[in-house]
Amino acid sequence: MDGNSELGGFLRSRRARLSPQEAGAPLSGGVRRVPGLRREEVAHLAGVSTDYYTRLEQGRHPHVSESVLSAVARALRLDGVERDHLFELARPRTDAGGSGAGSGGVQRVRPEVHRMLEVFNGVTPALVVNHRKDVLAANRLARALIADFEALPYRERNLARHVLLEPDARELYADWEGVAEEVVANLRLSSGRHPEDRLLNELVGEFMAKVPEFAGWWDRHRVGQCSYGPQRFRHPVVGALTLQHETLALPADEGQTVCVYTAEPGSESERTLGLLASWSMTDGTPDTAPDRGGSGGRRAALERVLKDGPE
């Protein structure tokens, strides 16, 4: 991706969302032809010349000091994630994609992390993803809740691909559009950190071609980490449940994070998650559990669980 155009697009999107009143900028005279702040207003708030800021937004200022970037971030009211993204986009690139996490190489999950996922089995859906949202490992309950990633071709084992391209995902996630926008914001953040990642760029290109809503979301330049929050599911077998999603970084494994889904103790969702856990184990191997259409054997297994109760 062109870093200059990415930086310019991000800055324009951030100033477009702020009114002069919100930013505390003195009102400029004349008719306002653009939404949000004008370039000269951002320049005034940041303490730089309009020409300097214009060249920065146009990608014609390759060496920007941290103090200027910090001033621009304050002027545009950027949050912590957005500020880091601004610095990533403005930083001169000295390599062609970085080390393992951003270069498209094969990533492995340590045996200790695999054992942790298995400990969660029967209680908490958990999976490991990288910065592209490739699913590197998933326990049985996560595969029963979301998708049987291990049964898919290697290239298709990707959480973003599942959310945006899998038709049944629009039914699985009660707030599909909200989840999809969070995924896109996370990919936006990753693209700033790994602009030369060929696989990530190919993934974005595929979404552009196949997902009607994607281009509009991408052009908003929203960035986010998908770090935590509630997610509402409409599972085709056990029904509705609300789970808290948490993302935990693995400091020893560059770019890898563990995503876990927990239910509120004593809630109906906790009971439903217990049914899902029992169903996934009663139905035999975990690889056969999350069939979206459902089969007679699987529904019979669920009926036994409903009758006898979770183990």
CB atoms within 10 A of CB 135: 25
**According to the model, what pLDDT value does residue 35 have?**
74
The domain made up of 3-90 has a fold known as: 434 Repressor (Amino-terminal Domain) (1.10.260)
Separation between Cα atoms, residue 72 and residue 77, nearest integer Å: 8
At 93 the pLDDT is 62
For residue 78, how far is the Cα from the chain centroid? 19
Other beta carbons within 10 angstroms of residue 59's beta carbon come to: 18
Written as six digits, the tokens of 20 are 């002069």
Spatial strand order of the sheet with 228-235 comes to 135-138, 126-129, 257-262, 239-249, 228-235
Instruction: List 245's β-bridge partners, or say none.
Output: 229, 261
Fold exhibited by the domain 111-308: Beta-Lactamase (3.30.450)
Q: What is the pTM of this model?
A: 0.82
d(CA 141, CA 121): 6
| Per-residue tens of pLDDT for the chain, all 311 residues | 555 788 999 999 999 988 887 777 666 656 677 778 989 999 999 999 999 999 998 877 667 889 999 999 999 999 999 999 999 898 766 544 444 454 556 688 999 999 999 999 889 999 999 999 999 999 999 999 999 999 999 889 999 999 999 999 999 999 999 999 999 999 999 999 999 899 999 999 999 999 999 999 999 999 988 788 999 999 999 999 999 999 999 998 988 999 999 999 999 999 999 999 998 886 544 444 444 434 344 445 444 544 554 44
Residues 6+ apart with CB under 8 A from 242: 230, 231, 232, 233, 263, 264, 267, 269
Q: Report domain extents, the chain.
A: 3-90, 111-308
